[in-house]
Amino acid sequence: MEITAAEAVVRLLEEEEVEVVFGYPGGAILPLYDALYGKKIKHVLVRQEQGAAHAANGYARATGKVGVCIATSGPGATNLVTGIANAYGDSIPMVIITGQVHTQLVGSDAFQEVDITGITIPITKHNYLVKKAQDLPKIVKQAFLIASTGRPGPVLIDIPKDVLETVITCSNPKDVRPQGYKPTYKGNTKQIIQAAKAILTAERPLIFAGGGIIASEASEELLTLAETIQAPVVNTLMSIGSFPRSHPLSLGMLGLHGAKFTNQAVTECDVLIGLGVRFDDRATGKVSGFAPNAKIIHVDIDPAEIGKNVRFDIPIVGDVRVVIQELLNHLAPAEHPEWLKRIQELKEQYPLVLKPEKGCRWARLHPWQVLQKLQELTKGDAIVTTDVGQHQMWAAQHYLANRPRTFISSGGLGTMGYGFPAAVGAQLGCPDQMVVCITGDGSFQMSMQEFGTAVEHKLPIKIIILNNHQLGMVRQLQEFYCDERYFGVDYTGQPDFAMFAGCYGAAGFRINRPDDLEPVLTEALNTPGPVIVDCTVCGRENVYPMVLGGACIDEAIVDRARGEKN
């Protein structure tokens, strides 16, 4: 059957069971939009292309499926770049389709031409410039395979307009695996046995869970492993929810803003089991002081990550789910009462310190109060997305996620403006679940135009803005690194966010005092449609603990007074 290449792309998307695409039309991509007309695939028109990339990302993370976004050539494609880099940093499976100028114009600096494949080489797992229409079926199939297998990641397909318009015979290629593309799933048996021996002889074992646990759907295996060997579990930001935070073996997030007791446990363990984790600098602090007394087992599907940042003793390349299953075959139930007693002592000795900053009164609304009340009212059962900044760290500390794919945040790139469009994608992917976006006044203003997208599609997203009228995390960094020379961080003019919601015909609420928190938040969570809750919090509030640059993670500052460590 002869159809246009654009129609073939739509048919291939349907074969890949794509239900929704996020995009913004333009001249070069117009044939594909015409082919989407009347099809079952839902198209979500975002208000800016970066929103399409972040929404596809949130969709992928909430559902486990490949997220798809579309944009035209030139500025449409370049507006996707931050979202693509964000997905690459966090290993999120996405297929990005961009339009390109006519084949004969490529390289001529034509109107809205840009070398998007060249631009995105460093931030995609793979990308294509399609030169022959008959290659499209194989390329599309290949893109989905590459994006979703091995270590997941974004794949870009750049298609010239004339290629999209070319009539082809749509084939269904069967063998699309690229030559030499063979991700390793099964770990080396000898290395697994060696790891098992190290775990069985450990007195203070600790599991370090990374985002790979969620990517490989290994949460059940992680729970079984932890309970079998009675080892506490620490999480990276990307793996929050992979292990139930309510579980007695859970120690929460480690790293620069991790609880003191969590970081101290890492420092004192004698065997550290790193599962699907990159050992990035935000988690490790000063590398030489990271788990100094531990034998380190590192499991990751990407061999390039083994030993890249932190020394290892036992490397295992493979899918973390498959490796844990095999590892369990070589383990026996173990007890570590003295180690768990020590963990409990650390929790009692180093609790998260919650007290007002100098210049803040208890009568003021504090950020952690909002997060703790949200946790109480949702019972930790909502899908939470966050932007980047202080609110992100408070959410990681105080919102206790118990299920995978329910805490969605920008990790590697740290992208402000990510949280709200990611919530749009998550809500469309999981329409029956409550989705809450926790953001700051700075981050929300980077993508607040997507509120129109939420209103158009009647998405019941609840947006909680921790509003301190400034770029709080930058101000905090200036306090410690710039001798309190605050510059470029204060918002002297910003919208009334509750009224902003009203401009779209949606509900907006404001909370200024702790006494208003429960009644207003309860009403907001039960209000249909998208809702904004503007929470005015103290502008002097810092996120603690805080590990300063060059320090070990057990040297965290826990109070505003410089050098007051605990």
Q: Which two tokens stand for residue 358?
A: 């100098």
| CA-angle at 53, arms to 48 and 56, nearest 5° | 120
So which residues are the catalytic ones? 49, 111-112, 161, 473
**Nearest CA-CA partner of 273 in 331, 353, 349:** 331
Residue 136 CA, distance from chain mean position: 30
Axis crossing angle, helix 472-481 with helix 390-398, rounded to the nearest 10: 100
CA distance to 31, 94, 150, 273, 460, per residue, from 277 (Å): 41, 20, 14, 10, 33
Taking the C-alpha atoms of residue 230 and residue 484, their distance in angstroms, rounded to an integer, is 45
CB-based contact 356:507 (threshold 8 Å):
no
Strand partners, 444: none
Distance in angstroms (rounded) separating the CA atoms of residues 559 and 470: 21
Residue among 262, 205, 264 at smallest CA distance from 234:
262
Total count of residues recorded for the chain? 566
**Tokens linked to 439:** 């953001």
The alpha carbon of residue 29 and the mean position of all alpha carbons in its chain are separated, in whole angstroms, by 28
**Cα dihedral across residues 67, 72, 78, 79: positive or negative:** negative
- Cβ neighbours of residue 336 closer than 8 Å, sequence gap 6 or more: 202, 203, 204, 205, 229, 230, 231
Running DSSP on this structure, what letter comes out for residue 539?
Answer: T
Quick check: helix, strand or coil at residue 231? coil
Q: What is the 3-state secondary structure (H, E, C) of 253-321?
A: ECCCCCCHHHHHHHHHCCEEEEECCCCCHHHHECHHHCCCCCEEEEEECCHHHCCCCCCCCEEEECCHH
